[in-house]
Amino acid sequence: MSLSKRPYKGTRDFFPVQERLRKYIFSHMSKTAELFGYEPYDGPLLEEVELYKAKSGEELINEQIYSFTDRGDRFVAIRPEMTPTLARMIAQIHRETPKPIRFYSIPNLMRYEKPQKGRLREHWQFNVDIFGAPKRQGEFEILQIAVALMEELGATNKMFEILINDRTIVETIFKKIMGLDDKKVHKLYKIVDKSKKVSPKDLKEMIDATGISEEAKEKLHKYLAFSSFEDVLSFFEDEGQADCVKDLYDFLNLVNNSNLKNFLHYDPTIVRGLDYYTGIVFEIFDKHPENRRAICGGGSYADLLTIFNEPSVPGVGFGLGDVTLTDFLKTHQLLPDFTKPCNDLLLTFQDENAVSVCMNLATELRRKNMRVITHLESLKLKKIFPLAEKKGAGFVGMIGSKELSTNRVQIKNMKTKKQYDICIDEIDEIVKVIHEI
């Protein structure tokens, strides 16, 4: 019997080239979050399914979650998203922790999806959340972090934009203005969420199928045609519902005095798929015509802690996945070359008796934080340089019979081809030569 060498459907093997890319992305994520004073956290891979049933939405539970019963009869799931875990953790500590609480994490998550571009079954997601911030300032800071990360990775406002909306506005038009019940509202959310991805004909059919009145349809079409915040404001003023625009208005006041102002656009179709959002919601969108998709999504959720019988502590956060981010960076050619590793020295011997001498020299150099690869078998001279090239080594070291007898090592700079003959015991001398690239 022979086993498959392929990874499980919708997941990835990360060979060093891919893993260096990922480490590059992850380190920028951590760095950015920490520049804003966010503290790292992590949680378990498994959670009880009940945690997601509460607020994540039925599509996730019914179609996408990896759930099973464990050997102790607990009904558990591999985390499909991080926010419920975070809410569970914040519920434990919010009473004794000064607000705002700022947390970030980069967990691996799984959803049972049909694998396609930008969508896999397993991905890693940068999660950044703030709890107990004054309203609008939380949303503002969270978006600042997303933008700071994108800029740190070399992106500009020519490459991406932030589309925002507010669920309060959507609730107001659906419930107060169109007069719909919760069930119809829920259906409309799903339709609005998909509206840009389907043809006008399909959209019409989906709306017709809800059975809402012609008058309601007219309002809905007006809503879907909003293309600026001014449209929103005048519509709700005419309807006598200007109150619902207040949060977004205050938020935009902050934005307009900041570096965020060149990134934000109002978009009525942004509503987010998860049930727990209650206020401002947003998505970061790639502007490139060949990769028009969301890289990041988030928003504010007021009541997630109540499922643990705790008082409301408002939260705002986003999730930004490694798959969509990598697609974005590739599309805009923002990625460095990760083909080769980066090493200081390839240390070789040409005399079998030099094994221990070579190993011990390597040990001493590593204690000085040099990245040293030893070649574990006697290596002929003509094979050394191609290998050093492949291993991204800046220098090669050679210990032949002559060097062994005189206790010396030949060190060669791979770039300048300059060669140095140094006593093996002069560790600092060797370090000096290598650092002076």
Token pair for 243 = 């109150």
| Among 61, 89, 206, 323, contact with its own copies (rule: CB under 8 A) | 89
Give the residue ranges of DSSP H helices in 239-283: 246-256
Report the largest interatomic distance among the alpha carbons of the chain, rounded to a whole angstrom.
96
Of the pair 216, 373, the CB lying nearest its own copies is at: 373
Give the residues across from 374 on adjacent strands. Answer: 347
Are 63 and 56 a contacting pair, CB within 8 Å? no
275 burial via Cβ count (<10 Å: 0-12, 13-18, 19+): middle
Q: Residue 95 interacts with its own copies (CB under 8 A)?
A: no
| 260 DSSP 8-state letter | G
Which residues ranging from 223 to 282 are in contact with its own copies (CB under 8 A)? 254, 257-259
Q: Residue 360 interacts with its own copies (CB under 8 A)?
A: yes
| Among 184, 391, 394, 422, contact with its own copies (rule: CB under 8 A) | 391
Distance of CA 129 to the CA centre of its chain: 13
Least gap, CB of 245 to its own copies (angstroms): 20
Q: Residue 140 interacts with its own copies (CB under 8 A)?
A: yes
Q: Residue 377 interacts with its own copies (CB under 8 A)?
A: yes
Q: Residue 416 interacts with its own copies (CB under 8 A)?
A: no
Q: Residue 341 interacts with its own copies (CB under 8 A)?
A: yes
Of the pair 171, 351, the CB lying nearest its own copies is at: 351
Of the pair 141, 247, the CB lying nearest its own copies is at: 141
Of the pair 247, 286, the CB lying nearest its own copies is at: 247
Residues 6+ apart with CB under 8 A from 8: 121
Separation in Å, CA 2 to CA 6, 7, 10, 13 = 12, 15, 21, 19
Number of residues that bind its own copies (CB under 8 A): 91
Q: Residue 370 interacts with its own copies (CB under 8 A)?
A: yes
Are 364 and 409 a contacting pair, CB within 8 Å? no
| Among 50, 205, 218, 426, contact with its own copies (rule: CB under 8 A) | 50
Binding region for its own copies (CB under 8 A) out of 131-139, 228-236, 413-421, 427-435: 131-139
Distance separating alpha carbons of residues 13 and 20, to the nearest angstrom? 13
| Among 29, 60, 76, 271, contact with its own copies (rule: CB under 8 A) | 76
Of the pair 134, 336, the CB lying nearest its own copies is at: 134
Q: Residue 8 interacts with its own copies (CB under 8 A)?
A: yes
Q: Locate tokens 């759930």: which residue?
A: 67
| Among 60, 81, 88, 354, contact with its own copies (rule: CB under 8 A) | 88
Least gap, CB of 310 to its own copies (angstroms): 8
Strand pairing of 294-301 and 280-286?
antiparallel
Measure CA of the first residue to CA of the last residue in the chain; give whole Å: 52
Q: Residue 23 interacts with its own copies (CB under 8 A)?
A: yes
Q: Residue 425 interacts with its own copies (CB under 8 A)?
A: no
Distance separating alpha carbons of residues 333 and 356, to the nearest angstrom? 45
Q: Residue 19 interacts with its own copies (CB under 8 A)?
A: yes
The identity of residue 352, as a single letter, is E
Of the pair 93, 423, the CB lying nearest its own copies is at: 93
Q: Residue 78 interacts with its own copies (CB under 8 A)?
A: yes
Are 94 and 313 a contacting pair, CB within 8 Å? yes
Binding region for its own copies (CB under 8 A) out of 50-58, 178-186, 234-242, 277-285: 50-58
